Amino acid sequence: MSTRRLQKELLELKNEGAPAGIQLLKGDDFQSWILSIEVLGESLYKGDKFALEFRFDSQYPIAPPSVTFVVNEQFQAPEHPHVYSNGHICASILANEWSPVLTVSAVCITLQSMLASCKRKERPPDNDRYVARAPADPRRTRWAFHDDDV
Amino acid sequence: MNLFLEEDVPDPTDFPPDTNAPGLRSLDEVLRCTICRELFEAPVTVNCSHGHCFCSLCIREQMNTKQECPLCRQTIAEVYIRRNPIVEDILGAWKLSRPFILKLLEERNSSPPATPPTHSVTLQSIPSSLSKRRRRMSSSSDDEIVELPGPSEMRQALQKSDVKITSSRTSSRKPMVQCPICRKEMTEDIINRHLDDNCKPLSTIRSPTPKKRKIQTQEWSRLFGNDSFANKGKARSKPLPELDIKEAESLPKMAYDTVTAKTIRERLSEYSLPTEGEKPALAARHLRWITMFNANLDASPSERKTLQQLRKELRKREENEGLQKRRKTRPHNVDVNVYEKDNKLAFAQLVEQARPKPPSQRPAVQASVCDDTSILDEVAVSDSTEIKRTSGSGVQ
Ligand SMILES: [Zn+2]
Ligand SMILES: [Zn+2]
Ligand SMILES: [Zn+2]
């Protein structure tokens, strides 16, 4: 299903434009897209521009995409209590609360609002510990759900 | 712009906005599944209070992961999935009229506005059966006469889909329960027997009375022409004669962590499916087959795919996944083992799902990793309890 669904999303982004503050930087295959994201209006991140990388597999959209903030010479991960310095995001909609009706642009909007509502710029309390042992794909991280040890 | 957009991807924006063509874009949008964004295929309604509608295959695949309505997050169950024949019929007609209307719109745009209104739009490429009748279409700008399919053509399209509902879906009014092992839904009176029989297919035990049971078993043999379930000792069953998909009954899932690879191979070979690979790959294949098979039964009998078509689809999907995995893992030298290794994660999930769980136990977010995920939940469903697509019928 993934390729047709992604084609449709891409078409929509191009035809109707990305939501305000969001821009498609790379979307030329079915494996990975990069979108830039800015928080509009007053916020702790005013004037900052971040980039999100989406990676898809054939299970998309039944399975969530793998979504991380790009960390390289050009972009940094926002300093936020749910964002690790390696770009991994602790967001329930990317894990157990994912729904297949969500889209790339819906995820961007959600993360944009997450940044917009931030009260204090800080890393998650376990940032160093997590980053030291984090898997490459954040979807392999067990975001500590209770029934994992059943 | 780039290569992969060149393929034709039908989309609601093929239609002009409401100001130019009232209602058409929304019509094309509401007839699409919110999971795959295609026009509904075998549309079904789930048992959330909104009666949300999806393609049968889309929602069944989703429900292999989570028993929750993707749009409103209410708990739903496979046993309550209902065909939606009226939507299927509407789609039958819409698939006929969609290209036709698009052509009309195109011609309306290309013809000068001064065209005399009494002169009908030329429709060479439209099959003659579609342009028998003329009708006036009220249009915001002028009263151009256009040709639309008449009621007889509509009826023809609709007749294609037989609205007869399979008896298995409506006959039982008894309370339904879900088997905690194989997750197959069944009436209360047979659950114990089903459990005693290690989740045997229901058809063999559908009725608790011995006499009827015999009839049912014969029915099973008639459909599948083989008593393989009686001869459990055999290492491998022969492929069963092709069953008539129009009369088929839904298949039960298996408790993949409690059965052996051999058992899964047996079931696969009964449907002439490949039996190579180890248990994780076999289980993934079997689950996918069951899901596709059962979804296919939610189409009206005349619209159903043959088993041969289903098999082809299954193969194609396995191949696509193989391709994707290959790209990710090693560029060369990909063999069955790699495929299986990659399937192990999926298999672990299957096993996890198959385990009985108290219904109230929902994954709760622990505070340790990330303090306040509730903020995200609010954001995700901020405006209403429903997740809405962002597109809507906006202005271009
Ligand atoms: Zn669908
Ligand atoms: Zn719902
Ligand atoms: Zn009725």
| pLDDT range class, residue B132, cuts 50, 70, 90 | very low
Q: Going by DSSP bridges, is the β-strand pair B53-55/B43-45 parallel, antiparallel, or unpaired?
A: antiparallel
> What's the confidence (pLDDT) of residue A141?
83
Compute the distance from residue B4 Cα to the ligand 2 centre, in Å.
33
Q: Nearest-CA distance from A37 to chain B in Å?
A: 16
Phi-psi region of B240 (alpha: psi -120 to 50; beta: other; left: phi over 0): beta
User: Is B387–A102 a contact, with Cβ atoms under 8 angstroms apart?
Assistant: yes
Residue of B4, B328, B372 with shortest CB distance to A30: B4
Range B362-373 average pLDDT: 37
> What's the confidence (pLDDT) of residue A136?
87
From CA B366, how far away is CA A92, in angstroms rounded? Answer: 11
Pick among A12, A31, A99 to test the B interface (most B CBs inside 10 A): A99
From CA B85, how far away is CA B92, in angstroms rounded? Answer: 10
Q: Which residue, among A18, A16, A23, A55, has the nearest Cα to A38 in the 3D structure?
A: A23
> What's the confidence (pLDDT) of residue B327?
64
Domain over A2-135 is classified CATH 3.40.50.720: no
Q: Which long-range contacts (CB under 8 A, 24 or more apart) does B167-172 make?
A: B168/B249, B168/B250, B169/B82, B169/B83
From CA B262, how far away is CA B278, in angstroms rounded? Answer: 10
Residue of B327, B357, B363 with shortest CB distance to A145: B363
From CA A90, how far away is CA B389, in angstroms rounded? Answer: 23
Q: Which of B112-126, B214-228, B336-350 has the lowest mean pLDDT?
A: B214-228
Q: Evaluate if residue B395 carries a pLDDT over 50.
A: no
Q: Diameter of chain B by CA atoms?
A: 80
Q: Which of A129-133, B21-25, B83-87, B106-110 has the lowest mean pLDDT?
A: B106-110
User: Is A7–B7 a contact, with Cβ atoms under 8 angstroms apart?
Assistant: yes
Residue B58 in contact with partner chain A when CB distance is under 8 A? yes
Range B106-113 average pLDDT: 79
Q: Nearest-CA distance from B11 to chain A in Å?
A: 7
Q: Evaluate if residue B119 carries a pLDDT over 70.
A: no
Q: A58: which 2 tokens?
A: 């054939």
User: Is B365–A113 a contact, with Cβ atoms under 8 angstroms apart?
Assistant: no
Amino acid residing at B169: R
Q: Which helix (H) or strand (E) holds B63?
A: helix B56-63
Within 8 A by CB and 6+ apart from B26, the residues are: B12, B18, B393
> What's the confidence (pLDDT) of residue B384?
37
Contact A16, B394 (CB under 8 A): yes
Task: Report pLDDT digits (tens) over B29-53.
Answer: 999 999 999 999 999 999 999 999 9
3-state helix, strand, coil in chain B (%, to 5): 45, 5, 50
> What's the confidence (pLDDT) of residue B382?
32
From CA A66, how far away is CA A32, in angstroms rounded? Answer: 9
Chain A residues in contact with B2 by the CB 8 A cut-off are: 27-28
Q: Evaluate if residue B166 carries a pLDDT over 50.
A: no
Residues of chain A with pLDDT under 70: 144-150
> What's the confidence (pLDDT) of residue B242?
73
Within 8 A by CB and 6+ apart from A95, the residues are: A64, A139, A143, A145
pTM, two decimals, is 0.65
Chain A residues in contact with B371 by the CB 8 A cut-off are: 81, 124-125
| pLDDT range class, residue B239, cuts 50, 70, 90 | low
Residue A92 in contact with partner chain B when CB distance is under 8 A? yes
* Number of Cβ within a 10 Å radius of residue B76: 21
Question: Which chain B residue's Cα is nearest to A129?
Answer: B369
Q: Is the dihedral of CA B41, B42, B43, B46 positive or negative?
A: negative
Residue of A8, A58, A125 with shortest CB distance to B37: A8
Question: Which chain A residue's Cα is nearest to B38?
Answer: A5
User: Is A63–B71 a contact, with Cβ atoms under 8 angstroms apart?
Assistant: no
Compute the distance from residue B81 Cα to the ligand 2 centre, in Å.
12
Pick among A2, A25, A26, A92 to test the B interface (most B CBs inside 10 A): A92
Q: Which residue, among A27, A35, A51, has the nearest Cα to B5 in the 3D structure?
A: A27
Range B103-118 average pLDDT: 73
| Residue whose pair of structure tokens reads 């429903």 in the numeric block | B386
Chain B residues in contact with A109 by the CB 8 A cut-off are: 390
Q: Evaluate if residue B264 carries a pLDDT over 70.
A: yes
Judge if the upstream peptide bond of residue B274 is cis by omega within 30 degrees of 0: no
From CA B240, how far away is CA B221, in angstroms rounded? Answer: 10
User: Is B321–A82 a contact, with Cβ atoms under 8 angstroms apart?
Assistant: no
User: Is B35–A130 a contact, with Cβ atoms under 8 angstroms apart?
Assistant: no
Compute the distance from residue A2 Cα to the ligand 2 centre, in Å.
22
From CA A114, how far away is CA B229, in angstroms rounded? Answer: 55
| pLDDT range class, residue B347, cuts 50, 70, 90 | low
Contact A89, A82 (CB under 8 A): yes
From CA B396, how far away is CA B393, in angstroms rounded? Answer: 9
Cα B68 to Cα A111, B46, B71: the distances in Å are: 23, 10, 9
- Rounded to the nearest integer, the mean pLDDT of chain B is 69
User: Is B5–A11 a contact, with Cβ atoms under 8 angstroms apart?
Assistant: yes
Indicate the domain borders of chain A. 2-135
User: Is A62–B65 a contact, with Cβ atoms under 8 angstroms apart?
Assistant: yes
> What's the confidence (pLDDT) of residue B235?
45
Q: Diameter of chain A by CA atoms?
A: 47
Q: Which ligand is nearest to the CA of B32?
A: 1
Q: Which of B95-109, B196-210, B227-241 has the lowest mean pLDDT?
A: B227-241
Tell me the H-state helices in B247-368.
261-270, 279-296, 307-328, 336-354
Q: What are phi and psi of B82, to 5 degrees?
A: -125, 140
Q: B132: which 2 tokens?
A: 């028998």
First to last CA, chain A: 32
Q: Out of A67, A90, A91, A94, which one is annotated catalytic?
A: A90
Amino acid residing at B197: D
Residue A147 in contact with partner chain B when CB distance is under 8 A? yes
From CA A26, how far away is CA A56, in angstroms rounded? Answer: 14
Count of residues in chain A: 150
What is the number of CB-based contacts under 8 A between chain A and chain B?
Answer: 145
> What's the confidence (pLDDT) of residue B348?
54
Catalytic site includes residue A90? yes
